[in-house]
Structure 1
Amino acid sequence: MFRMNLKIALRNLWKNKVYTAINIGGLSIALAAFIIVVLYVNYETSYDKNLPNYDRIYLVGRSMPDFKTDYTPAPLAKAIRQNFPEVELAGLTKNMGFEMPVSSDHGKIFSSNALQVESEVAKMFDIDPRDGLPANDAGLKAYLPRPLYKQLFPKESMKPPQMVALGPSNGAQAEKVSGTIDRDDEHSNLKFDLLALGNDISFGDQDYGANNFKTFIQVKKGTDVKALQEKIDRLYKKEVVKAGVSPTDRRIAGRSVIFLDPLKNLHLRPAAGSDANYKVVMALFGLGILVMVIACINFTNLTIAQATKRAKEVGVKKVLGAYRFNLTFQFLAEIFMQCVLALIMGLIVAEILLPVFNNLFSTPLSLWRSNTTLYWQLPLLLLLITIISGIYPALVLSGFKPAAVLKGNLQTSYKTLWLRNALLAGQFGIAIIFITGLFIVNSQLKYMRTEDTGFKPEQVISIKNMVLYSQPWSFRDVREKISKIPGVNYVTVASDIPDGSKAGTMNYKIDGKEASSDFLYVDFDYFETLGIRLKEGRLFSWKFNADTANSAILNESAVARYGVKDPVGKTIRGCDIDYKIVGVVKDFKSQGFQTAVEPTVYTIKNPCGNFKTKIMINVDEQRMALVLTTLKSQWSSINKLDGDDFRYDFLDELYGRLFKKQEQLQAVFFFAAVLTIFIAVLGLFAFSAFTTNSRIKEISIRKVLGATDFQVLKLLNTYFIWIILVANLVAWPLTYMLAKKWLQTFAYRIEMPILPFLVAAVVTSVLTIIIVSIQAQKAVRRNPAEVLKYE
């Protein structure tokens, strides 16, 4: 029996080659897209999931009145370890914050992610050097990931420990690399290319006012995390009060400060950070599901459309004693065979497309390597699409009544007409969502690329530098040497550059009103270098000696936060210094378009701030190549402490990286729109062919009665155009809500455009007219005499 049903299934598939190819082809392409999306979602949601205590690791953060941060003071980890027995491990990490040359006699690398880590954090993250964790009194020991170690010491005989030089060649510090670490940190929240490991990286620091470490804890099984968070909060407040902070200070009074952020949230949804990654992952997953839905709809629609061809077979089998259950199982088995073929083809297409996806999203996805999750997901997916795509067609096919079928009285096509129309409308509705979404994403990206950001990153070079220019006079010699190069307009140095980096935050007070603001530690010509416009007052100038001691410039948002009228000349207090406000600059979008411009205070002197290391040079457009060549050849004499390793970035390229997620989303919508339109058009092609063939006698009779070819074409097109118009009317409100929600994630955004909705309607209508007309033309050209003859 099984062999006979298999033969029948294969013969039917071969007999209807075009429909079979459309069914399997459309489903395989959708499966390829969905498989890639599943791989990406698996990858993004499994950061650090291989850790044995993954669900018991937390990052300690602070919730301040105006922002959240995951930076904490050095002594907090030790205090948590000593006071709470439910905490198994607690430790600190600290990023070095600048690029550092690491060299040996055999090679050189540039470490841009040097990380100090305490041993207890190393245990949490399963970081295990080959020579084991350092002893209690060992101080800091340096380690390199094995691939980087091989670049410095290529010979097999060069085993650790080995000496390396940290820093520029003329001011390098000798350091011993104690060993290597066999760990791929690309899939971890703790990333490093140079690791300094020790039992205490705070070196006895007991200052609760300096928050420049990250604190990780690992709790025991069964710990009430919420209760622990409250206890740590009370401990923190107690310690900062001991350190001299008033109990009524707005930073701690009447509110919870400490929060515990689970490790599973840190990559996609950190409490103190952007959730842009999470939105892209969820958007991709949603798009993948919609693509699968449209493919399953296409499959179901075409299977139902061909139901009449199997009617007599069903009737004969029922007369011979077959039960409906047997027939349902048979048709499901046939559909399962098609789904298996589609899955195999989908895997092949996915393997071909993966390099393109990996390049776009900077991921190392692979179908076959380290992908145990996919092994159980694929069979589940196969079963799911078989049931979704096949259960209704199988029930329809097995439900034919033998008497009606064998008399030729089958009206199934009309009984299922409403369903087929709804499914076709659903297909195009999803395609309309993608088309409209693509144009809206394009409009927002165009706005972000062309809108005035408030500063001019073009023609600005950001030089990678290790020297700390903390005093106003310390940068003077470097500035003068660079300024003498023909083509250089302005030179400055600052603690941060406008590339999306978050500046430091501090409490400032004006006229008795205290609030937190970002602060930047800058130098002369900072605003001129970046083309930031002055609103009132003046900019920093060498003509005023006080600028190096106690002058400050605010942006418009800071003036608005403090509610100050006529701020120039008033005093703002912060970091135990009374600053005189000498100017106000216009807001500029240093952190992109998703985040509103933060209130910011700019000073030349700031003992509480980060070091000034970011050198920026504004260059004439016509002389860029000459300036870069000169800088490279003279860098060792210009910046003697930084050596001969001249490296730079263009500021506009660094700023452009803030648009990367939106550009990825744009690419995804483009491919999704093309894919869904392709699948919908395939379905429409087959469905219109079936509909036209089923109405061939009606068309012939109309032609005999005098209908012109145009009237017949209009009749057939009108039927499908109405379906497409309904699809547009249903899809538009849904698209509007989704697009509005997406646009609300931007602080600076476009108004909802109308044109994308009209374009989607025109595109789908024109495609429908073309496809249906091609099919209808074949029927119109047929001779009515041949169609209507009985024998």
Structure 2
Amino acid sequence: MVKNYFKIAWRYIIKHRFYSLVNIIGLSTGIAFILLIAAYVWGEWQVNKHLKEADRQYILQSKWKNANEGFELATLGPLAKALKENYPNLVANYYRYDGITTNVSKGDKSFREGLQVGDSTLLNMYGFTLLQGNAQTALNDPFTIVITADKAFKYFGKTDVVGQTLTIENFSGSKHDFLITGVMRNPSKNSVTALTNNYPNELFVSDANLTFFGRDMSWQNPFIAGYIELQKGITPKDLEKPIAQLLKQHAPPQFVADLTPYLVSLQDYYFAANNRLVQKMVYALSAIALFILLMAVINFINMAVSRSTARMREIGIRKVLGGLKKQLIIQFLVESIIIVFFATAVAFILYAASKNLFSNIVSKDIPSLADFPLYFIVFPIVFVFILGFVAGIYPAFVLSSLKSVESLKGKLSAVKENVLLRKSLTAFQFATAIIAFTGAIIISQQIHLFLSNNLGYDKEYVVSAQVPRDWSQAGVDKMITVRNEFASMPMVQSVALSYEIPDGNNIGQSYMYKQGGDSATAVPMQVLVSDENYSSVYKIPLQAGAFFDGNKLDSGKIIMNETAARTFGFKNPSDAIGQQIRSAGDQTVYVVKGITNDFHFGSMQQKVAPIVLFNVQFAQVYRYFSFKIKPGNINTAIYALQQKWASLMPGAPFEYTFMDDTLAKLYKSEIQLKKASYTATVLALIIVLLGVLGLISLSIQKRTKEIGIRKVLGSSVAAIVALFIKEFLWVIIIGGVVACPLAYMLMHNWLQGYAYRINITAMPFIIAIVLLGFITALLICLQTIKAALTNPVKSLRTE
């Protein structure tokens, strides 16, 4: 009996291969997309899950009264260690690190690398495996280093490199050999070796090297990443009073008043970081995938319902011959499950073929099928049966309930094409496609705002590269000489030496107040350090006064943006010129030399912060050269810069980035969402049009005689085509009416996450509806014209 079910189902599928193919293509597209999204979500869910004692690992975060005072990601240097030493009954272990970038070289290989200068507890606390070396002692001594397997291959071409050395440069320009004491197995993605997605670290040195790098982990330093492992049974709430007590005893008064450290579980941190951006991305993509799959299932149901009248006589004959209702239900469900099985098989092929493409879209490595645990094989099997049952249940129960006599006549008022059901389902599909299309347009408009020329500075033809560091007067003088050499090149318009480029990462904050005022009234300012060319490279307009002029007498002068001037109470920018400003805890009196326009130094998620620029001649810290290249042959200009760099700074890597790429990195998640939304839009259109293709084909097949009669009575081809278009026109309009308010609400809520955002206009909605309607009409025309041109004599003979 079971064999017969499959045999009959297979024969039916082969006999009606066009409709079966439409169903399989639609379903496989939806299933492949949900497999890709599921793989992406699974990969994101695994972050931090492989750490040792993952359920007891926490990161210390900072909540500041003023968001400009410090970084949420970091905390006071000694806090994690002090918690372990003073409260061992609460804290089992700790790890802290200071993240830096510097030049690392081996022979003629030289690169800028991210390093973690941290506690020796790293390897044992998190269970990172060493391929070579002793995890107990690898990070105990000064001038020793642990590297990942990838870095070992990068510098040596092999992993057996314990006992070899790498040369590392500090910020005074000195170099020292570091002995490799361990090679770490490449860790799975986690928030310890990569606190943020943009800054992964693969080289680890002991905190015994802090002095070599000129760094510290003091109570005055609020920029240290701190982690702790809680004892069993201890909760974050148990540490609230101990943390407050330690701050009261050791931290500067300003920090005690404004800072509230708190704990975030590493199991939650990855999703919670950056205003829960990853979690929002996961939810958005999951919802899109489910809707795409639902659209594909609706196509399947629509096709089955539309073909119901064609199978009435088959059902009547089977019932007359003794077929039971149960057997008919099983038969229809078997057909449905077989189609879903083939669609799933095709989906796996599509998954393998599109995995790399989708990885590029979401900028994440999507695992291959072999990477999943073996027990995952259960999910597609269950999926096939559930989806096959859900997709086939309606036609199975409706068609199996038909009375034998009415079935043999081929007429039944209960089935009457189920026009309302089909059109409702189709309207849902159109609504989903319109929402996806509209969302993609609005996301694109917002990202265009991020990358537009409305940033307060000019990003065009700007290239940045990190330079070797010697943070002394001699080092600054040398870099200025080198800068001038670059500026003399014919293809270079201007060159600036600075600590920051506009990517949101600045040296920190300084509490500042007016001279003569009380230091208790000091307000936090974002500090930037630059030379006199910074404003000309980035074309930052001045509101009042002047920018630095390269004179060392400028070392006691500062530049502020409009927001900073308003924060100090100056109503007009010109009122601030010549005013004296103090920094809390510093006896220096600074004079305001100029006021710039506000410009977006970081993400548009936050409002422009008050910014103060110090002269590099005074602050004597720097990281970047920013080159303003003259328009023309960019490749030739970059090559010339590379050659000049090698001659002026031999041994220093020239690793450059265009400002457009820097901004793309800053808005990485938004760009991922944009790409994913366009992918979803394309898939939604494919599934909708496949559904329209199938339904129109069935409709033409059933109305062939009607078309012949209309032609005999004088109807034109255009009138017949319009008849079929009108059938779907109202469906699109209804779908648009439903979709527009939903799309508006969804995108309005998404835009609320940005301090600077576009205004939602009617244009995206009009474009989505009109374009979808045009494509649908074009598809209908292509199918109906052929039927309308057929000889009416043949049409009238159709039964």
TM-score, normalised with respect to structure 1: 0.89
Question: What residue in structure 2 maps to residue 600 of structure 1?
Answer: 611
Counting only pairs closer than 5 Å after superposition, residues 344-383 of structure 1 correspond to structure 2 as 344-372=345-373, 374-383=376-385
Preserved CA contact (<8 Å) 1:39 1:374: no
Question: What residue in structure 1 maps to residue 28 of structure 2?
Answer: 28
In structure 2, the CA distance between the partners of 1:334 and 1:637, relative to structure 1 (3 Å rule), is: closer
Preserved CA contact (<8 Å) 1:59 1:217: yes
Deviation at 1:400, TM superposition (A): 1.7
Alpha-carbon separation, structure 2, partners of 1:419 and 1:454 = 54
Please tell me whether residue 569 in structure 1 is matched to residue 578 in structure 2: yes
* SS at structure 1 position matched to 2:500: coil
* SS at structure 2 position matched to 1:521: strand
* SS at structure 2 position matched to 1:216: strand
Residue number among 270, 275, 297 corresponding to 1:267 in the alignment: 270
Residue number among 440, 446, 449 corresponding to 1:447 in the alignment: 449
Alpha-carbon separation, structure 1, partners of 2:66 and 2:569 = 16
Q: Give CA deviations for 1:254-290 in whole Å, capped at 9, x if unaligned.
A: x7701112213333431xx354444433332222122
In structure 2, the CA distance between the partners of 1:324 and 1:199, relative to structure 1 (3 Å rule), is: farther
Q: Give CA deviations for 1:430-464 in whole Å, capped at 9, x if unaligned.
A: 11122222322333333333332211233333232
Question: What residue in structure 2 maps to residue 173 of structure 1?
Answer: 176
In structure 2, the CA distance between the partners of 1:6 and 1:729, relative to structure 1 (3 Å rule), is: same
Alpha-carbon separation, structure 1, partners of 2:638 and 2:339 = 61
Question: What residue in structure 2 maps to residue 591 of structure 1?
Answer: 602
Alpha-carbon separation, structure 1, partners of 2:544 and 2:174 = 44
Counting only pairs closer than 5 Å after superposition, residues 656-671 of structure 1 correspond to structure 2 as 656-671=664-679
Question: What residue in structure 1 maps to residue 561 of structure 2?
Answer: 555
Preserved CA contact (<8 Å) 2:506 2:527: no
Preserved CA contact (<8 Å) 1:134 1:141: no
In structure 2, the CA distance between the partners of 1:616 and 1:703, relative to structure 1 (3 Å rule), is: closer
Please tell me whether residue 507 in structure 1 is matched to residue 517 in structure 2: no
In structure 2, the CA distance between the partners of 1:688 and 1:463, relative to structure 1 (3 Å rule), is: closer
Deviation at 1:236, TM superposition (A): 3.8
Question: What residue in structure 2 maps to residue 285 of structure 1?
Answer: 286
Deviation at 1:188, TM superposition (A): 5.3
Deviation at 1:703, TM superposition (A): 4.6
Alpha-carbon separation, structure 2, partners of 1:651 and 1:667 = 21
Preserved CA contact (<8 Å) 2:535 2:547: yes
Question: What residue in structure 2 maps to residue 770 of structure 1?
Answer: 778
Deviation at 1:551, TM superposition (A): 2.0
TM-score, normalised with respect to structure 2: 0.88
Question: What residue in structure 2 maps to residue 231 of structure 1?
Answer: 241
* Larger CA deviation: 662-671 vs 85-94: 662-671
Alpha-carbon separation, structure 2, partners of 1:139 and 1:366 = 39
* SS at structure 1 position matched to 2:460: coil
Preserved CA contact (<8 Å) 1:93 1:213: yes
Identity of aligned residues (%): 26
Q: Give CA deviations for 1:705-756 in whole Å, capped at 9, x if unaligned.
A: 5544444333332222111111111111111112222333333222213222
Please tell me whether residue 397 in structure 1 is matched to residue 405 in structure 2: no
Alpha-carbon separation, structure 1, partners of 2:256 and 2:583 = 18
In structure 2, the CA distance between the partners of 1:378 and 1:596, relative to structure 1 (3 Å rule), is: farther
* SS at structure 2 position matched to 1:257: strand
Alpha-carbon separation, structure 2, partners of 1:666 and 1:685 = 28
* SS at structure 1 position matched to 2:229: strand
Preserved CA contact (<8 Å) 1:479 1:491: no
Counting only pairs closer than 5 Å after superposition, residues 737-748 of structure 1 correspond to structure 2 as 737-748=745-756
Report the AA paired with residue 336 of structure 2. Answer: I
In structure 2, the CA distance between the partners of 1:232 and 1:303, relative to structure 1 (3 Å rule), is: farther
Deviation at 1:300, TM superposition (A): 0.9
Alpha-carbon separation, structure 1, partners of 2:325 and 2:507 = 70
Alpha-carbon separation, structure 1, partners of 2:324 and 2:285 = 43
In structure 2, the CA distance between the partners of 1:199 and 1:318, relative to structure 1 (3 Å rule), is: farther
In structure 2, the CA distance between the partners of 1:660 and 1:208, relative to structure 1 (3 Å rule), is: closer
Residue number among 91, 97, 103 corresponding to 1:93 in the alignment: 97
* SS at structure 2 position matched to 1:292: helix
* Larger CA deviation: 285-294 vs 195-204: 195-204
Counting only pairs closer than 5 Å after superposition, residues 74-153 of structure 1 correspond to structure 2 as 74-84=77-87, 85-96=89-100, 98-104=101-107, 108=109, 110-129=111-130, 130-135=132-137, 138-139=141-142, 141-153=144-156
Report the AA paired with residue 576 of structure 1. Answer: G
In structure 2, the CA distance between the partners of 1:560 and 1:765, relative to structure 1 (3 Å rule), is: same
Alpha-carbon separation, structure 1, partners of 2:276 and 2:380 = 29
* Larger CA deviation: 582-591 vs 657-666: 657-666
Counting only pairs closer than 5 Å after superposition, residues 403-422 of structure 1 correspond to structure 2 as 403-414=405-416, 416-422=418-424
Deviation at 1:668, TM superposition (A): 2.4
Deviation at 1:326, TM superposition (A): 3.7
Deviation at 1:112, TM superposition (A): 1.6
Preserved CA contact (<8 Å) 2:329 2:397: yes
Question: What residue in structure 2 maps to residue 184 of structure 1?
Answer: 187
Question: What residue in structure 1 maps to residue 344 of structure 2?
Answer: 343
Preserved CA contact (<8 Å) 2:476 2:617: no
Alpha-carbon separation, structure 2, partners of 1:652 and 1:776 = 48
Counting only pairs closer than 5 Å after superposition, residues 702-781 of structure 1 correspond to structure 2 as 702-781=710-789
* SS at structure 2 position matched to 1:69: coil
Alpha-carbon separation, structure 1, partners of 2:439 and 2:216 = 52
Deviation at 1:20, TM superposition (A): 0.4
Alpha-carbon separation, structure 1, partners of 2:775 and 2:632 = 49
Preserved CA contact (<8 Å) 1:561 1:599: yes
* SS at structure 2 position matched to 1:112: strand
Preserved CA contact (<8 Å) 2:96 2:226: yes
Deviation at 1:619, TM superposition (A): 4.0
Residue number among 696, 710, 717 corresponding to 1:688 in the alignment: 696
Alpha-carbon separation, structure 2, partners of 1:583 and 1:202 = 37
* SS at structure 1 position matched to 2:522: strand
Q: Give CA deviations for 1:203-231 in whole Å, capped at 9, x if unaligned.
A: 89673111232111112333222333x22
Q: Give CA deviations for 1:303-356 in whole Å, capped at 9, x if unaligned.
A: 111112332333344455555444323322221111110000011111111122
Alpha-carbon separation, structure 2, partners of 1:139 and 1:18 = 72
Alpha-carbon separation, structure 1, partners of 2:662 and 2:433 = 35
Deviation at 1:515, TM superposition (A): 2.3
* SS at structure 1 position matched to 2:93: strand
Question: What residue in structure 2 maps to residue 653 of structure 1?
Answer: 661
RMSD: 3.2
Alpha-carbon separation, structure 2, partners of 1:256 and 1:166 = 35
Residue number among 414, 429, 450 corresponding to 2:431 in the alignment: 429
Alpha-carbon separation, structure 1, partners of 2:635 and 2:787 = 67
Preserved CA contact (<8 Å) 1:95 1:115: yes
Question: What residue in structure 2 maps to residue 219 of structure 1?
Answer: 230
Report the AA paired with residue 230 of structure 2. Answer: V
Alpha-carbon separation, structure 1, partners of 2:613 and 2:9 = 76
Number of aligned residues: 771
Structure 2: 5+ residue stretches without partners: 195-199
Preserved CA contact (<8 Å) 1:593 1:746: yes
Preserved CA contact (<8 Å) 1:429 1:728: yes
In structure 2, the CA distance between the partners of 1:778 and 1:70, relative to structure 1 (3 Å rule), is: closer
Alpha-carbon separation, structure 1, partners of 2:495 and 2:798 = 92
Counting only pairs closer than 5 Å after superposition, residues 312-331 of structure 1 correspond to structure 2 as 312-319=313-320, 322-331=323-332
Question: What residue in structure 1 maps to residue 545 of structure 2?
Answer: 537
* SS at structure 1 position matched to 2:578: coil
* SS at structure 2 position matched to 1:416: helix
